[in-house]
Amino acid sequence: MASGRALKAVLIDLSGTLHIEDTAVPGAQDALSRLRQASVAIKFVTNTTKESKKNLLERLQRLNFDLKEKEIFTSLSAARTLLEKTKHRPLLLVEDSALEDFAGIDTSEPNAVVIGLAPDHFDYQTMNKAFRLILDGAPLFAIHKARYYKRKDGLALGPGPFVTALEYATDCKASVVGKPEKTFFTQALADLGCSPDEAVMIGDDARDDVGGAQSTGMLGILVRTGKYRQGDENKINPPPHMTCDTFPDAVEHILKNLL
C-alpha cells in the first residue's frame, strides 16, 4: 500500500502476538483499545485446528482483551466458508472441540475430506475411509500442514504428515485453507468491505503472517514476540513492511504513519 492510500482494516494474529499462552503481551490490551478509537475495522486471524472461536474468545476475555466472537477468523472458519461455497458434505477429521465451528454443515454421505489435527480420528480405519473418498473424487481440504507441535508431554505429530500421507496415496494435492494461503486473507477481509491494499496484518510468524499477507497485497508488520527468532525478517522476500518489538509498538506505528 502506497502512503496516502486509506487504511481501512487491521488483521491481528493471536498467539505470540497478543498473548503467549496465558500471559498477555505487556500493554497489548491498551494498545488494542487505542486502535479501536481510530476508524479502522479489526479482525483477529489465527491458524487453529482444535480450538473453536468460542474457546479462543473466552481465553482472550480472561486476559482482559476487548473483542467479539464475530471478529475472530480462524483456519476452521476458512474451511467452513469454503464448504459453504462449494456445497460439499465433508468427512470432518477434526477434534470434537472444533466441531462447533461446523455446526449446521451437512455431513451425511460425505463427498469431501477436511483434515485438521485429530489424533482421535487418525486411526487406520478412518484414514482408509478418507483415502477411498478421495480416490472416488472427493477433494481434500487441509486446515494447515504443520509437521508437529509442542505438547506438555513433548513433541507430537501435526496434521501435515497425515495430509501428506493421503496426498501420496491418492496422487492428489490438498487445498490448504489456513495461513499463509491467499484465500485465507481475502476471506478474512471479505465482510469488512475492503481490499487487501487497504489492510495491514500484524503477527509473529514471518512466513505465515507477514509473508502470506504481503503476497495477498496487504502490508505486513512483524513483531519480535512469540515464535519470533532473530533474523526472521530476512526469511521473506519482499521483507516485512516493518518490524516492531511488540504489538503496542506496531499499533503506535499504524496510528502515527498509516492513518
Partner 1 sequence: MADTGWTSCATSLKGVILDMCGVLYDSGEGDGVAIPGSVEAVRRLKASDLKLRFCTNETQAVREKFVAKLQRLGFDICISEVFSPAPAAVAVLRERGLRPHLLVYDALMPEFDGVDKSNPNCVVIGDAAEKFSYANMNEAFRVLIGLEKPTLFSLGKGKYYKETDGLKLDVGVYMKALEYACDVEAEVIGKPSATFFLSVLNDMALQPHEVMMIGDDLVNDVGGAQQVGMKGVQVRTGKYRPSDQQHPTVTADGTADHLAQAVDMILSRRGKP
* Residues at the contact surface with partner 1, assessed by CB under 8 A: 119-120, 122-125, 127-128, 131-132, 135, 147-148, 154-158, 160-162, 164-169
- Exposed/middle/buried for 39, CB within 10 Å: 0-12, 13-18, 19+? exposed
Whole-angstrom distance, CA of residue 90 vs CA of residue 135: 15
User: CB 227 → partner 1: shortest distance, Å?
Assistant: 18
Place of cell 466472537: 69
Min dist CB 50 to partner 1, Å, is 13
Q: How far apart are CA 242 and CA 218, in angstroms?
A: 12
Least separation in angstroms between CB 207 and partner 1: 16
Which of 57/142 has CB closer to partner 1? 142
Is the CB of 60 or the CB of 130 nearer to partner 1?
A: 130
Residue closer to partner 1 (CB basis): 63 or 157: 157
Grid coordinates in use for 112?
469431501
Q: 163 or 188, CB closer to partner 1?
A: 163
CB of 8 to partner 1, least distance (A): 39
Minimum CB–partner distance for residue 148 and partner 1 (Å) = 6
Q: Which is nearer to partner 1, 164 or 186 (CB)?
A: 164
HSE (CB half, 13 Å, CA atoms) of 175?
A: 17
